[in-house]
Amino acid sequence: MKLIEGKSIAETVYGECLESFEELKAAGFLPGLAVVLVGEDPASRAYVGSKEKKCQELGMHSVKIELPAETKQEDLHQVILDLNADETIHGILVQLPLPNHLDEDAVILRIDPAKDVDGLHPVNLGKLAMDDPTGFAPCTPSGCQRMLVESGIETSGANVVIVGRSLLVGKSLALLMMGKGEGGNATVTIAHSRTKDLKAVTREADILVAAIGIPHFIGPDHVKEGAVVVDVGINRIADPTAPRGSRLVGDVDFDAVKDKCEAITPVPGGVGRMTIAMLMANTIRACRLKEGL
């Protein structure tokens, strides 16, 4: 069993980012990322902190806008419009989820597609479906694909089953892996909570991706011998033996499944590390596209 760890692959992406960053800097351009955080959600605050730290490490221009949980829809829209007009900002990310009273789709629609480095604007999703390289793919699916490529996992002609149909992961990853080129050309099935005989479907997968948001949902009966398993889930469960009384686990029962796999990603230390890496890569590419480099 091969462990596909995110740290080393993310470092490869950061190395590419630094090389591109130096080229931009030499040409007089500084990539800039703005992250908008609404409310006090602890997990969102931690993610935003990690993104800000990585921007600083790479030397990028970084702006963090923190708004109270009671922020009105029109006020959040104005923040986005101001960032669209800011020439020093090449990427805009609104940290999700937003407080319940805010319409996330309406907010995403306000982001300039050329600055939508989270890849959720309909223009970018359309470009993803059309194999248009000028668009931005969502960061987590991009990270999954990059992990497979860097690990030497053959995707061309492979049967891929993705458990989970969210736009953020499942649907976008399906488009990436059906696309032409490296990390693509796969035959993709999207399964979900209404799929009949789910275990029979997932056991057909050469590459099984779990993105359903339920801790330890995927067990050994879901996985065929020699499959590659990518676990996108990040769930916190109670554990009285852990220092904090809880621990992070994935959507896959790692210990029960690992011996059946050719390769598997861990949680933590797997896909999660790639999401921020791909965000940095998208931001630098947004700068290159804007400046015609």
Amino acid letter, 231? D
Residue with tokens 């319409």: 103
Cα–Cα distance measured from residue 29 to residue 16, given in angstroms and rounded to the nearest whole number: 17
- Neighbouring CB atoms inside 10 A of 201's CB total 17
Cα–Cα distance measured from residue 261 to residue 177, given in angstroms and rounded to the nearest whole number: 20
Catalytic site positions = 51, 95, 118
- Single out the residue of 284, 286, 287 nearest to residue 19, CA to CA: 284
Half-sphere exposure of 106 (CA within 13 A, CB side): 11
No. of helices (H) and no. of strands (E), the chain:
10, 11
Cα–Cα distance measured from residue 152 to residue 148, given in angstroms and rounded to the nearest whole number: 6
- Single out the residue of 181, 275, 260 nearest to residue 221, CA to CA: 260
Bond before 122 cis per omega within 30 degrees: no
H-state helical runs in the chain: 6-26, 42-58, 73-85, 104-110, 122-129, 139-150, 172-178, 198-202, 254-257, 271-291
